Amino acid sequence: MKLVPPDSWRPQGVDDLEPRAWEALQENGRSVCVTAGAGAGKTEFLAQKGTYLLQTGICPAPKRILAISFKRDAARNLAERVEKRCPPEQAGRFDSMTFDAFTKGFVDRFRAAIPAPFSPPPNYRIDFPTRQQLQHFLTSHNYHGVNIATLERNVARTRLPLADGVENALRAYWHAQYTEKDEVFLSFPMINRLVDWLLRENPDIRRALQATYPFVFLDEFQDTTYAQFDLLHTAFDGSSAIFTAVGDDKQRIMGWAGAMPDAFARFEADFDARRIPLVSNWRSHEDLVRIQHVIAKRIDPQAEQAEARADRNVDGDVAAIWQYESNENEADGLAAWIAGEIDNGIDPHEIAILVRMHANDVEQVLAASLTQHDVKLRNVARNIGNIAIQDLLGEELTAILLPLLRLGATIKNPISWNSAQRNLQFLEGIYPHDEVGQQRLQQRLQTFIRELRTEMNTLEPDNDAARTIARRALDFIGTSILRRAFPGYRRQQDFDRVWTGFADLLAETADDAASWADAIDQFEGLDQVALMTIHKSKGLEFHTMIFYGLDNQTWWSLTPNRIEELNSFFVAFTRAEQRAFFTLCTNRGGPVAWIESLLAPAGVHRVAGPA
DNA sequence: TGCCAAATGGTGGGC
DNA sequence: CCATTTGGCA
């Protein structure tokens, strides 16, 4: 493998990096924390840095890079960007995974080395305890004074082994998870704590980990929990690991779910990291960036104004607060305005309606008006059976079945063909250089697609036909192969939840689709305006963002001192590439006066909403 | 029926 | 964390 000298290495797939990103990329003598605001290209930066370390041999074989994200989407996305730029030998040394996949891997490989009595059996199960279950534990064990939130927090914050003074409820909870059901149930915070203990007790495992990974990337660092932070210390203290942490404190909206309030500051201090702020905003144009800065300064008076690197391509107001008198006026006005924009050539997919919470209720309120104007709304939080649409679209089952259906619905589709082929290779364990195997697989796929096309041509898309077609695709892959390939599908009920959701959503979309291609487009949400919460919109971007409900009823606690509420508002605003509008309804309690006065000097005013 | 305290739900994520 | 709903009791 030919290596590139560091001095002549160039970023790939982009024109250039901003000077600060270059600095952060080349700083490999010590850890860095890269604070990067909205649209700064955090993931792209990590992908470039990974590529740089691999291609220059600064991370030499067989050493590896560990990249840790919170969401599977983010981990996959980062891995794909490195794969696109590096040959397999190099990309194969970039381990991009979620924090939970990382820790679970240790339990699975070294569970016997976890001290008694907490050494899990091989058939332990992952537990996602609901509030009801936690409440049931507390009541049935007579811990009436302890509330669920405290118990949850203590599980996540208390190191093993449990010290003498530790609260009895916590001790009893650990015990119950191991002894009170037919199997052992471990939640991810518990797994985190078990691995922390494992690594402290076993210097050999720790040293092996440190020898493997001289470089560690940490994405969305502002969302790090106490347990995760402790684990980083345990795993890498005393090593010469170089960390690259990226994130944005202004987008910290997960505090209620256990994120540390000061992850970046503590990281800087504990790991002697150099702080490098990125300043470019590749997403939004100058006029929006100027307004964003007004909010940013309110969150952090030290915030630097970002440099807008996107062009403005719309006329008129780019930000405003739209006032309506009633819910009906608001729904009609919004629907008519969106319909007009779509007529003007904006892709519905590029428009998003964001809400703070209760997306399902808002869907009900808007549905009739939008339908009247022929606008399709996709509420990504809506449940199909027992799974939300957004989760269903990210499932492996969907990734494997959908390309097959696409191939059945279209004549030529190299992209779907490639993914179908790659999926089959993976599922059947065929190596890229096994030419006989490849050939056989190719032929099987060809035969199946030919049959599927014939069948789809004879069937009009409707509910029943959709179920038949989905079943054909599943049978071609093989339920048992699918369930063996993905641990998440091992339990019958977990597999059924996803499979039923898939078939139901396809049936639903086929029912009012003109063609199979149209049904699949609708399945994926193309040609639809997305409706989602701010939390779900994190990391996404839209040409036009409409925030529904900037009134006191929904933002009851948006005040200057409640930083996390203001951060939520900032996250929503910064999703917009071109335009950001907020609606409010006087019937619902009127404007949040405080935010209005903050935005007024930036030129964002309350106006009558389009009718 | 009306009052108050307690319970519940919502902003999310992971193999 | 806050708002809304519930249920116990007068």
A388: the nucleotide nearest its CA (via C1') is B12
Overall average pLDDT of the A284-290 stretch: 98
Task: Give bridge partners of residue A247 from the DSSP assignment.
Answer: A35
Write down the pLDDT at residue A145.
Answer: 76
- Contact assessment for residue A8 and residue A248, using Cβ atoms and an 8 Å cutoff: no
Write down the pLDDT at residue A405.
Answer: 97
CA gap A413, A429 in Å, rounded:
24
A556: the nucleotide nearest its CA (via C1') is C2
DSSP secondary structure string, A424-452?
A: HHHHHT--TT-HHHHHHHHHHHHHHHHHH
Q: Determine the angle formed by the axes of helices A492-511 and A463-477, rounding to 10 degrees.
A: 140
Helix (H) or strand (E) holding A575: none
Which residue reads 């049936």 in tokens? A507
CATH topology of domain A287-376+528-608: Rossmann fold (3.40.50)
A412 confidence band (pLDDT: 50, 70, 90): confident
Cβ of residue A312 lies below 7 Å from strand B: no
Cβ of residue A39 lies below 7 Å from strand B: no
Which residue reads 């989905």 in tokens? A470
DSSP A259: B
**Of all protein residues, which has its CA closest to the C1' atom of B13?**
A71
- Contact assessment for residue A571 and residue A251, using Cβ atoms and an 8 Å cutoff: yes
Residue A175 scores a pLDDT above 80: yes
Q: Which of residues 123-182 of A touch strand B (CB under 7 A)?
A: 126, 128, 131-132, 135
Residue A110 scores a pLDDT above 90: yes
Q: Which of residues 119-158 of A touch strand C (CB under 7 A)?
A: 149
Q: How many CB atoms lie within 10 A of CB A557?
A: 10
- Please state which of the ranges A17-31, A204-218, A484-498, A515-529 shows the lowest mean pLDDT: A484-498
Write down the pLDDT at residue A562.
Answer: 85
Residue A332 scores a pLDDT above 80: yes
List the end-to-end C-alpha distance of chain A, in Å, as a whole number: 63
CA gap A338, A393 in Å, rounded:
25
CA/C1' separation A144–C9 (Å): 21
Tens of pLDDT along A553-565? 888 888 887 889 9
Cβ of residue A76 lies below 7 Å from strand B: no
Overall average pLDDT of the A156-168 stretch: 89
CA/C1' separation A153–C10 (Å): 39
Overall average pLDDT of the A382-405 stretch: 93
Residue A406 scores a pLDDT above 80: yes
Mapped to the 3 state alphabet, what secondary structure does A92-104 carry? Answer: CCEEEEEHHHHHH
- Please state which of the ranges A154-163, A220-229, A543-552, A555-564 shows the lowest mean pLDDT: A555-564
- Contact assessment for residue A29 and residue A288, using Cβ atoms and an 8 Å cutoff: no
- Please state which of the ranges A143-147, A239-243, A441-445 shows the lowest mean pLDDT: A143-147
Q: What is the pTM of this model?
A: 0.94
A361 confidence band (pLDDT: 50, 70, 90): very high
SS3 assignment, position A544:
strand
Residue A144 scores a pLDDT above 90: no
Nearest to A534 by CA among A378, A384, A355, A380: A355
Write down the pLDDT at residue A96.
Answer: 98
SS3 assignment, position A378:
strand
Cβ of residue A357 lies below 7 Å from strand B: yes
Q: How many CB atoms lie within 10 A of CB A168?
A: 10
Nearest to A468 by CA among A490, A451, A480, A487: A451
> Strand A383-384 and strand A387-388: pairing?
antiparallel
Q: Which CATH architecture has domain A6-102+197-278?
A: 3-Layer(aba) Sandwich (3.40)
User: Nucleotides of chain B within 7 Å of a protein C-beta?
Assistant: 8-15
Tens of pLDDT along A184-198? 999 999 999 999 999
Write down the pLDDT at residue A556.
Answer: 82
A564: the nucleotide nearest its CA (via C1') is C1
Share of chain A above pLDDT 90, in %: 85
Cβ of residue A399 lies below 7 Å from strand B: no
CA gap A555, A366 in Å, rounded:
19
Which residue reads 């191939």 in tokens? A407
CA gap A149, A156 in Å, rounded:
11
Residue A136 scores a pLDDT above 90: no
A149: the nucleotide nearest its CA (via C1') is C1
Residue A218 scores a pLDDT above 90: yes
A355: the nucleotide nearest its CA (via C1') is B11
Which residue reads 């067989």 in tokens? A62
CA/C1' separation A359–C5 (Å): 20
A141 confidence band (pLDDT: 50, 70, 90): confident
Residue A589 scores a pLDDT above 90: no
**Of all protein residues, which has its CA closest to the C1' atom of C3?**
A556
Write down the pLDDT at residue A587.
Answer: 86
Whether residue A161 is preceded by a cis peptide bond, meaning omega within 30 degrees of 0, is: yes
Cβ of residue A256 lies below 7 Å from strand C: yes
Q: Judge if A6-102+197-278 and A287-376+528-608 fold alike in CATH terms.
A: yes
Cβ of residue A233 lies below 7 Å from strand B: no
Write down the pLDDT at residue A168.
Answer: 86
Overall average pLDDT of the A147-164 stretch: 90
Overall average pLDDT of the A120-148 stretch: 87
A256: the nucleotide nearest its CA (via C1') is C1
A131 confidence band (pLDDT: 50, 70, 90): confident
Percent helix, strand, coil in chain A (nearest 5)? 55, 15, 30
Cβ of residue A357 lies below 7 Å from strand C: no
A144: the nucleotide nearest its CA (via C1') is B6
Tens of pLDDT along A56-68? 999 999 999 999 9
Q: Which of residues 545-574 of A touch strand C (CB under 7 A)?
A: 553, 556-557
- Contact assessment for residue A541 and residue A577, using Cβ atoms and an 8 Å cutoff: yes
Overall average pLDDT of the A499-525 stretch: 95
Write down the pLDDT at residue A133.
Answer: 87
CA gap A481, A182 in Å, rounded:
27
Tens of pLDDT along A453-482? 999 999 999 999 999 999 999 999 999 999
Domain ranges of chain A: 6-102+197-278, 129-186, 287-376+528-608, 388-524
- Contact assessment for residue A501 and residue A386, using Cβ atoms and an 8 Å cutoff: yes
CA gap A500, A384 in Å, rounded:
8
Across all residues in chain A, what is the average pLDDT? 94
| Strands across the sheet containing A94-98 | A94-98, A65-69, A215-218, A242-247, A32-36, A274-278
A305 confidence band (pLDDT: 50, 70, 90): very high
Cβ of residue A481 lies below 7 Å from strand B: no
Overall average pLDDT of the A380-395 stretch: 91
